[in-house]
Amino acid sequence: MDSFAHDRLTIRANGAAANLLELSWEGTSREREPGKLLLPYLTAAMAWSSERNVGVEMRFDKLEFFNSATVMVIVKMIHLARSKGIRMRLTYASDVEWQSLSFRPMRVFEKEGIFEISAVPSRSAVGGVS
């Protein structure tokens, strides 16, 4: 799986783990309509994972900022993963307030064995959400 880069956002794909595709988000996502760029890439990542029967972890703990439109893209990916039975984990920086405020409400989607949210100490994330 290839990585993604546009403007100030990079999503590094690492499929080296035996049963996991890690998508590490870095930089910022400020696009007015991020779905136009992100949905094709993330949908391809889900297909890649499904073909190999591996889970997906989206790591946001190095992300500096995303806008509220990006949250909707993430929620769409949660629904897609659940509908296809793809195990998914979102990992965010627990000590970065804007990340906690963005990801804690997504816990309503948690389903044991299918989807989970994990909070970890920051790996240099800063910034905010608008």
Structure tokens at 49: 């994972």
Q: pLDDT per residue over 78-121, tens digit each?
A: 999 999 999 999 999 999 999 999 999 999 999 888 999 999 98
pLDDT above 50 for 46: yes
Q: pLDDT per residue over 68-78, tens digit each?
A: 999 999 999 99
pLDDT above 80 for 128: no
4-120: in CATH 3.30.750.24: yes
User: Which amino acid, 82?
Assistant: R
Task: Say whether pTM exceeds 0.75.
Answer: yes
At residue 124, the pLDDT reads 56
